[in-house]
Protein backbone atom coordinates (compact mmCIF):
# COMPACT_ATOMS: atom_id res chain seq x y z
CA UNK A 1 0.00 0.00 0.00
CA UNK A 2 2.67 2.47 1.03
CA UNK A 3 5.40 3.04 -1.59
CA UNK A 4 8.34 0.72 -1.00
CA UNK A 5 10.84 3.57 -0.76
CA UNK A 6 11.90 4.81 2.68
CA UNK A 7 11.22 8.37 1.52
CA UNK A 8 8.69 9.96 3.91
CA UNK A 9 7.10 11.83 0.99
CA UNK A 10 4.45 10.58 -1.43
CA UNK A 11 3.64 12.24 -4.73
CA UNK A 12 0.34 13.74 -5.79
CA UNK A 13 0.22 11.08 -8.53
CA UNK A 14 0.49 8.31 -5.94
CA UNK A 15 -2.19 9.77 -3.72
CA UNK A 16 -4.54 10.45 -6.63
CA UNK A 17 -4.29 6.77 -7.55
CA UNK A 18 -5.16 5.75 -3.96
CA UNK A 19 -8.04 8.11 -3.16
CA UNK A 20 -10.49 5.20 -3.17
CA UNK A 21 -8.31 2.88 -1.11
CA UNK A 22 -10.14 2.40 2.23
CA UNK A 23 -6.82 1.78 4.01
CA UNK A 24 -5.35 5.15 2.98
CA UNK A 25 -6.47 7.92 5.34
CA UNK A 26 -5.78 11.55 4.43
CA UNK A 27 -5.41 14.26 7.08
CA UNK A 28 -5.32 18.02 6.57
CA UNK A 29 -2.90 19.27 9.22
CA UNK A 30 -2.89 22.93 8.22
CA UNK A 31 -1.65 25.28 10.96
CA UNK A 32 -1.28 29.05 11.19
CA UNK A 33 0.44 31.36 13.64
CA UNK A 34 -1.72 33.07 16.28
CA UNK A 35 -3.94 35.83 14.88
CA UNK A 36 -3.72 34.75 11.23
CA UNK A 37 -7.13 34.48 9.59
CA UNK A 38 -9.07 32.67 8.28
CA UNK A 39 -8.57 29.87 10.76
CA UNK A 40 -7.08 26.62 9.43
CA UNK A 41 -10.33 24.73 9.99
CA UNK A 42 -12.17 27.37 7.95
CA UNK A 43 -9.73 26.80 5.08
CA UNK A 44 -10.31 23.07 5.42
CA UNK A 45 -14.09 23.44 5.25
CA UNK A 46 -13.76 25.60 2.14
CA UNK A 47 -11.55 23.16 0.22
CA UNK A 48 -9.77 19.94 1.13
CA UNK A 49 -8.59 16.78 -0.56
CA UNK A 50 -11.38 14.25 -1.16
CA UNK A 51 -12.05 12.29 2.01
CA UNK A 52 -9.58 14.25 4.13
CA UNK A 53 -10.30 14.87 7.80
CA UNK A 54 -8.98 17.84 9.77
CA UNK A 55 -6.04 17.10 12.09
CA UNK A 56 -6.13 20.02 14.54
CA UNK A 57 -2.61 20.53 15.89
CA UNK A 58 -3.95 22.71 18.71
CA UNK A 59 -6.62 20.16 19.70
CA UNK A 60 -4.56 16.96 19.50
CA UNK A 61 -2.38 18.29 22.28
CA UNK A 62 -2.10 18.32 26.06
CA UNK A 63 -5.11 20.40 27.24
CA UNK A 64 -3.54 20.99 30.65
CA UNK A 65 -0.25 22.44 29.39
CA UNK A 66 -0.10 26.24 29.00
CA UNK A 67 2.53 25.94 26.28
CA UNK A 68 1.10 25.77 22.74
CA UNK A 69 0.14 22.35 21.32
CA UNK A 70 2.44 20.21 23.46
CA UNK A 71 2.41 16.44 22.87
CA UNK A 72 -0.65 14.73 24.38
CA UNK A 73 -0.61 11.46 26.26
CA UNK A 74 -0.65 8.25 24.24
CA UNK A 75 -4.20 7.62 25.44
CA UNK A 76 -5.41 10.98 24.16
CA UNK A 77 -3.58 10.65 20.84
CA UNK A 78 -5.11 7.22 20.25
CA UNK A 79 -8.57 8.50 21.14
CA UNK A 80 -8.33 11.63 18.97
CA UNK A 81 -6.88 9.78 15.99
CA UNK A 82 -9.46 7.01 16.19
CA UNK A 83 -12.18 9.68 16.18
CA UNK A 84 -10.80 10.80 12.81
CA UNK A 85 -11.54 7.35 11.41
CA UNK A 86 -7.94 6.15 11.51
CA UNK A 87 -6.98 2.64 12.61
CA UNK A 88 -3.58 1.16 13.41
CA UNK A 89 -3.47 -0.75 10.12
CA UNK A 90 -4.02 2.31 7.92
CA UNK A 91 -1.60 4.30 5.81
CA UNK A 92 -1.83 7.94 6.89
CA UNK A 93 -1.00 10.72 4.43
CA UNK A 94 -0.66 14.21 5.92
CA UNK A 95 -0.76 17.46 4.00
CA UNK A 96 -1.27 21.14 4.71
CA UNK A 97 -2.41 24.16 2.75
CA UNK A 98 0.64 26.30 3.36
CA UNK A 99 4.32 25.91 2.73
CA UNK A 100 5.47 22.84 4.63
CA UNK A 101 4.48 24.04 8.05
CA UNK A 102 2.32 21.52 9.88
CA UNK A 103 2.05 18.30 7.88
CA UNK A 104 5.53 17.24 9.09
CA UNK A 105 4.37 17.86 12.68
CA UNK A 106 1.53 15.37 12.22
CA UNK A 107 3.94 12.94 10.52
CA UNK A 108 6.35 13.09 13.46
CA UNK A 109 3.56 12.66 15.99
CA UNK A 110 2.39 9.46 14.32
CA UNK A 111 5.96 8.13 14.27
CA UNK A 112 6.46 9.14 17.92
CA UNK A 113 3.34 7.25 18.96
CA UNK A 114 4.42 4.05 17.19
CA UNK A 115 2.66 4.33 13.81
CA UNK A 116 5.35 4.02 11.10
CA UNK A 117 2.93 3.87 8.15
CA UNK A 118 2.66 7.63 7.70
CA UNK A 119 3.70 9.91 4.84
CA UNK A 120 3.65 13.58 3.87
CA UNK A 121 2.16 14.71 0.57
CA UNK A 122 4.93 16.41 -1.40
CA UNK A 123 3.71 19.91 -2.26
CA UNK A 124 0.53 19.62 -0.20
CA UNK A 125 -2.68 21.32 -1.23
CA UNK A 126 -0.78 23.97 -3.20
CA UNK A 127 0.69 21.44 -5.65
CA UNK A 128 -2.58 19.46 -5.74
CA UNK A 129 -4.50 22.57 -6.83
CA UNK A 130 -1.84 23.65 -9.35
CA UNK A 131 -2.30 20.31 -11.05
CA UNK A 132 -6.04 20.82 -11.32
CA UNK A 133 -6.96 17.93 -9.05
CA UNK A 134 -10.35 17.75 -7.31
CA UNK A 135 -11.21 19.06 -3.86
CA UNK A 136 -14.26 18.78 -1.64
CA UNK A 137 -15.79 21.22 0.83
CA UNK A 138 -17.54 20.77 4.17
CA UNK A 139 -16.86 18.46 7.05
CA UNK A 140 -16.14 14.74 6.70
CA UNK A 141 -17.78 12.50 9.32
CA UNK A 142 -15.78 9.24 9.34
CA UNK A 143 -16.63 6.03 11.11
CA UNK A 144 -14.41 5.83 14.23
CA UNK A 145 -11.30 3.71 13.86
CA UNK A 146 -9.35 1.55 16.29
CA UNK A 147 -5.96 3.02 17.04
CA UNK A 148 -3.29 2.02 19.55
CA UNK A 149 -0.55 4.43 20.59
CA UNK A 150 2.57 4.24 22.68
CA UNK A 151 4.90 7.22 22.96
CA UNK A 152 8.62 6.68 22.39
CA UNK A 153 10.17 9.43 24.57
CA UNK A 154 13.28 9.41 22.39
CA UNK A 155 11.42 11.39 19.74
CA UNK A 156 11.14 14.54 21.88
CA UNK A 157 13.34 16.60 24.19
CA UNK A 158 12.45 18.72 27.21
CA UNK A 159 13.84 22.07 28.28
CA UNK A 160 15.68 20.35 31.11
CA UNK A 161 17.43 18.05 28.65
CA UNK A 162 18.48 20.96 26.46
CA UNK A 163 19.74 22.95 29.45
CA UNK A 164 21.95 19.97 30.21
CA UNK A 165 23.08 19.92 26.60
CA UNK A 166 24.43 23.46 26.97
CA UNK A 167 27.25 21.86 28.97
CA UNK A 168 27.73 18.55 27.19
CA UNK A 169 27.09 19.62 23.57
CA UNK A 170 26.17 16.00 22.96
CA UNK A 171 23.42 16.99 20.53
CA UNK A 172 23.35 19.65 17.83
CA UNK A 173 20.36 21.98 17.93
CA UNK A 174 18.96 23.35 14.67
CA UNK A 175 16.45 26.21 14.75
CA UNK A 176 13.91 26.42 11.89
CA UNK A 177 12.78 30.01 12.46
CA UNK A 178 13.47 32.80 9.94
CA UNK A 179 16.90 34.38 10.40
CA UNK A 180 15.69 37.70 11.88
CA UNK A 181 13.89 35.87 14.68
CA UNK A 182 16.86 33.54 15.24
CA UNK A 183 19.29 36.45 15.42
CA UNK A 184 17.01 38.44 17.70
CA UNK A 185 16.27 41.31 15.31
CA UNK A 186 12.78 40.15 14.30
CA UNK A 187 9.52 40.22 16.22
CA UNK A 188 8.20 37.01 17.73
CA UNK A 189 4.55 36.22 16.84
CA UNK A 190 3.85 35.35 20.46
CA UNK A 191 4.08 38.36 22.80
CA UNK A 192 6.28 38.39 25.87
CA UNK A 193 9.12 36.23 24.52
CA UNK A 194 12.74 37.32 24.62
CA UNK A 195 14.52 37.72 21.26
CA UNK A 196 17.30 35.43 20.15
CA UNK A 197 18.09 31.72 20.13
CA UNK A 198 19.37 28.89 22.29
CA UNK A 199 23.13 29.27 22.72
CA UNK A 200 25.11 27.06 20.36
CA UNK A 201 22.22 26.35 18.01
CA UNK A 202 22.39 26.56 14.22
CA UNK A 203 19.85 28.17 11.91
CA UNK A 204 18.27 26.50 8.87
CA UNK A 205 15.09 28.47 8.06
CA UNK A 206 12.43 25.94 7.12
CA UNK A 207 11.13 28.03 4.21
CA UNK A 208 14.45 27.59 2.41
CA UNK A 209 13.89 23.85 2.08
CA UNK A 210 10.96 23.92 -0.32
CA UNK A 211 10.05 25.56 -3.62
CA UNK A 212 7.82 28.57 -2.87
CA UNK A 213 6.10 28.30 -6.25
CA UNK A 214 5.21 24.61 -6.32
CA UNK A 215 5.23 23.84 -2.60
CA UNK A 216 7.40 20.77 -3.26
CA UNK A 217 10.46 19.99 -1.17
CA UNK A 218 13.78 20.79 -2.80
CA UNK A 219 16.04 18.06 -4.26
CA UNK A 220 18.25 16.10 -1.89
CA UNK A 221 21.47 17.80 -2.97
CA UNK A 222 19.99 21.22 -2.17
CA UNK A 223 18.76 20.01 1.22
CA UNK A 224 22.21 18.64 1.97
CA UNK A 225 23.84 21.97 1.05
CA UNK A 226 21.44 23.88 3.31
CA UNK A 227 22.45 21.88 6.38
CA UNK A 228 26.14 21.82 5.49
CA UNK A 229 26.07 25.59 4.97
CA UNK A 230 24.75 26.02 8.51
CA UNK A 231 27.56 23.92 9.93
CA UNK A 232 25.43 20.87 10.73
CA UNK A 233 27.22 17.52 10.99
CA UNK A 234 24.62 14.96 9.97
CA UNK A 235 26.67 12.16 11.48
CA UNK A 236 26.13 13.59 14.98
CA UNK A 237 22.89 13.59 17.06
CA UNK A 238 20.43 16.35 16.13
CA UNK A 239 17.52 18.08 17.86
CA UNK A 240 15.26 20.45 15.91
CA UNK A 241 13.51 23.51 17.30
CA UNK A 242 11.40 26.47 16.10
CA UNK A 243 8.78 28.80 17.53
CA UNK A 244 6.44 26.21 19.03
CA UNK A 245 7.46 22.77 17.79
CA UNK A 246 5.71 22.79 14.40
CA UNK A 247 7.98 24.09 11.62
CA UNK A 248 10.96 22.38 13.28
CA UNK A 249 9.61 19.16 11.81
CA UNK A 250 10.22 20.49 8.29
CA UNK A 251 13.91 20.19 9.17
CA UNK A 252 13.35 16.76 10.66
CA UNK A 253 11.55 15.64 7.50
CA UNK A 254 14.37 16.92 5.30
CA UNK A 255 16.96 15.22 7.49
CA UNK A 256 14.95 12.00 7.35
CA UNK A 257 15.00 12.20 3.55
CA UNK A 258 18.79 12.53 3.76
CA UNK A 259 19.04 9.32 5.77
CA UNK A 260 19.29 10.82 9.26
CA UNK A 261 17.55 8.73 11.91
CA UNK A 262 17.30 9.17 15.67
CA UNK A 263 16.81 12.94 15.66
CA UNK A 264 14.45 14.53 18.17
CA UNK A 265 12.11 17.51 18.54
CA UNK A 266 12.32 20.14 21.26
CA UNK A 267 8.56 20.28 21.71
CA UNK A 268 8.45 23.45 23.82
CA UNK A 269 10.78 25.29 21.42
CA UNK A 270 11.05 29.09 21.66
CA UNK A 271 7.57 29.49 23.14
CA UNK A 272 9.07 27.89 26.26
CA UNK A 273 12.77 28.76 26.12
CA UNK A 274 12.09 32.40 25.23
CA UNK A 275 9.91 33.12 28.27
CA UNK A 276 11.18 36.01 30.45
CA UNK A 277 12.41 33.69 33.21
CA UNK A 278 13.87 31.10 30.82
CA UNK A 279 17.41 29.79 30.36
CA UNK A 280 20.26 31.76 28.69
CA UNK A 281 19.66 33.34 25.29
CA UNK A 282 22.09 34.22 22.51
CA UNK A 283 21.61 36.82 19.75
CA UNK A 284 23.24 37.50 16.40
CA UNK A 285 24.25 34.97 13.72
CA UNK A 286 25.13 31.41 14.71
Active site amino acids: 242
Terminal CA-CA length for the chain = 43
Distance (Å, whole) CA 250 – CA 42: 23
Please return the burial class of 170, using the count of CB atoms within 10 Å of its CB with bins 0-12, 13-18 and 19+: exposed
Distance (Å, whole) CA 95 – CA 102: 8
Distance (Å, whole) CA 176 – CA 147: 31
Whether the CB-CB separation of 91 and 118 falls below 8 Å is answered with yes
Whether the CB-CB separation of 128 and 47 falls below 8 Å is answered with no
Distance (Å, whole) CA 177 – CA 240: 10
The two most distant CA atoms of the chain are separated, in Å, by: 52
Phi, psi of 192 (to 5 degrees): 90, 0
User: In 10 A of CB 210, how many CB atoms?
Assistant: 23
Q: Buried b vs exposed e over 130-150: b needs ≥16 C-beta within 10 Å?
A: eeebeeeeeebeeeebebebe
Report the alpha-carbon angle 174-12-81, nearest 5. Answer: 65
Enclosing H/E stretch for 250: helix 248-257
Amino acid sequence: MTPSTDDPLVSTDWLAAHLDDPKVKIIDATFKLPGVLPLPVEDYLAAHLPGAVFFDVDHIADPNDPRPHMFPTAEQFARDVAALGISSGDTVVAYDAGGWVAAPRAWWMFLSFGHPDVKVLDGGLKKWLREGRPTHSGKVAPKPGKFQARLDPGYIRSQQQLVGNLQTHAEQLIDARPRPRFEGTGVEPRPGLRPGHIPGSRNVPYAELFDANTGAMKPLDELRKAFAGAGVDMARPIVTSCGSGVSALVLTLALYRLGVRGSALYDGSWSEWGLPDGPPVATGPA
